[in-house]
A = this chain, B = another copy of it.
Amino acid sequence: MAGDRVIVVGAGFSGLAAASALAGAGVEVQVLEARDRVGGRTLTRRLPDGGWLDLGAQWIGPTQDRMYALVAAHGLTTFPSPAVGRPTVCWAGRRLDTAPESAGQVFATLDGLAAQVDPAAPWRAARAAEWDRLTLGGWLDATAPDPGTARYVGRLLAGGLLAAGADEVSLLQLLFYLAAGGGTGSLLEMAGGAQQDRIVGGPATLAERMAAALPAGSVRLDHPVEEIAHDGTGVRVRAGGEPHIGAAVVVAVAPALAGRIRYAPPLPALRDGLTQRMPMGSAFKVHARYPEPFWRPDGRSGVATTDAGPVTETVDNSVPGSPTGVLTAFSYGDEARQLRRLPVAARRAALLDALVALHGPAAARPADLVEYDWSADPWTRGCFCGMLTPGSWCDYGPQLRPPVGRVHWAGTETATRWSGYLEGAVAAGERAAAEVIAALG
Contacts and interface: CB of A to CB of B under 8 A. Distances in A.
Interface of A: 129, 132-135, 137-138, 165-170, 224, 226, 241, 256, 259-260, 262-263, 266-270, 272-273, 276-277, 279-280, 282, 334, 337, 340-341, 373, 375-378, 381-382, 389-392, 394-395
Contacts of A167: 129, 132-133, 390-391
Contacts of A259: 259-260
B135 A134 contact: yes
A378 B168 contact: no
Contacts of A280: 273, 276
Report the 5 A-B pairs with minimum CB-CB distance, sorted nearest first: A168-B391, A269-B375, A276-B279, A133-B167, A389-B389
A266 B373 CA distance: 12
A133 B133 contact: no
Contacts of A224: 262
A441 B229 CA distance: 44
A298 B211 CA distance: 73
A135 B391 contact: yes
A169 B334 CA distance: 19
A377 B266 contact: yes
Nearest to A260: B260
Contacts of A260: 259-260, 262
A376 B269 CA distance: 4
A233 to B, nearest CB: 22
A384 to B, nearest CB: 14
B389 A262 contact: no
5 contacts: A133-B168, A137-B391, A241-B241, A263-B378, A268-B376
A169 B132 CA distance: 12
A2 to B, nearest CB: 35
Nearest to A395: B337
Contact of A137 (B133, B169, B262, B334): B133
A157 to B, nearest CB: 15
Nearest to A274: B279
Contacts of A341: 270
Contacts of A256: 276
Given A167-B390, A391-B165, A395-B337, A276 B376 contact: no
Contacts of A268: 376
B272 A381 contact: yes
Contacts of A267: 378
Nearest to A377: B266
A240 to B, nearest CB: 11
Nearest to A280: B276
Contact of A272 (B269, B272, B375): B375
Contacts of A382: 269, 273, 276
Contacts of A263: 378
